[in-house]
Amino acid sequence: MTDWAPYTARAAHWFQSLRDAICAEFEAIEREAGSDAAFEYTPWKRSAVEGEGEETGGGTRGLMKGQVFEKVGVNISTVHGAFGKEFAATINGASAQQPQFSATGISLVAHMANPHVPAVHMNTRFLTTTKAWFGGGADLNPPLPYAEDTEAFHAAFKATCDAHGEGNYERYKAWADEYFYIPHRKVYRGVGGIFYDHLECADEAAWEANFALTKAVGETFLAIFPQLVRRRMGMAFTPADKAQQLEWRGRYAEFNLVYDRGTLFGLKTGGNVDAILMSLPPEATWS
């Protein structure tokens, strides 16, 4: 059986470096808007679930509230331990008899002050149970969609995905469309993006290939999303525009609390509650 610990460490180092680059870019955007907002970083230790005993890993919650980014969280974590028996049965490669896991990743959600600027979500992760795999993706959530923004976002990720395997983009785009759907509202959470999971690493070569894709996804996000922010952040908006933003934030909250697997994973594995729920918007409305 492969010892995945060195690979987990490599992935964790990358996620931290990506976090640093993203936060620096977001703070630069705030400076361009005349704001001195900056990320505040709060370290946390994982609380062991019942039967584990000691704390096992942790992470850092990064949060900024500024003039452009009304609320943005960029979190990293590296944890290990054992799933509860029932939850283990729902996780790839885990079971009640073999509930052990390790996980490292980055998770980002940005809610924007200007409703013309799209909200966004991005996360990538590496997990091990009796199997090892990567997952992640990014999706755009504009309250006031612009076709050119949607096209630019998708084009950037298409180029990235297809560079790492023919047909990847169409597969991961369809996966995102299926995943980021709110059945009780019969609407999509946003205008889509990409989503992938369980990219299994049977050997070192497969790990390197999946890691290369995962790094490219993070780099693509860092390249394209700030462009969209700068394109829209100076636009004037009306009370009606703001009302539409708040309504769509409600949809975002509903999805993350009812359907999002990452939220459930964090809560079921002793993660930091504030970090897990940083995806929720600072303000929302329901009619």
Catalytic residues: 121
Which SS3 state, helix, strand or coil, does residue 238 take? coil
Contacts by 65-68, CB closer than 8 A, 24 or more apart? 65/37, 65/282, 66/30, 66/33, 66/35, 66/37, 66/113, 67/30, 67/33, 67/34, 67/35, 67/37, 67/113, 68/29, 68/30, 68/33, 68/35, 68/112, 68/113, 68/114, 68/117, 68/229, 68/233
The DSSP result for 200-220, as a single string, is: E-SSHHHHHHHHHHHHHHHHH
Three-state DSSP state, 41:
strand
User: Identity (one letter) of the amino acid at 243?
Assistant: A
Maximum CA extent, the chain: 59
CA 163 to chain centre: 22
Kindly provide the residue ranges of all beta strands, DSSP E only, lying in the chain, ordered along the sequence.
40-45, 57-64, 69-82, 100-112, 119-128, 132-141, 181-182, 187-188, 192-200
- Using CA atoms, how far apart are residues 29 and 64, in angstroms rounded to an integer? 12
d(Cα 56, Cα 49) in Å, to the nearest integer? 10
Type of residue found at 136: G
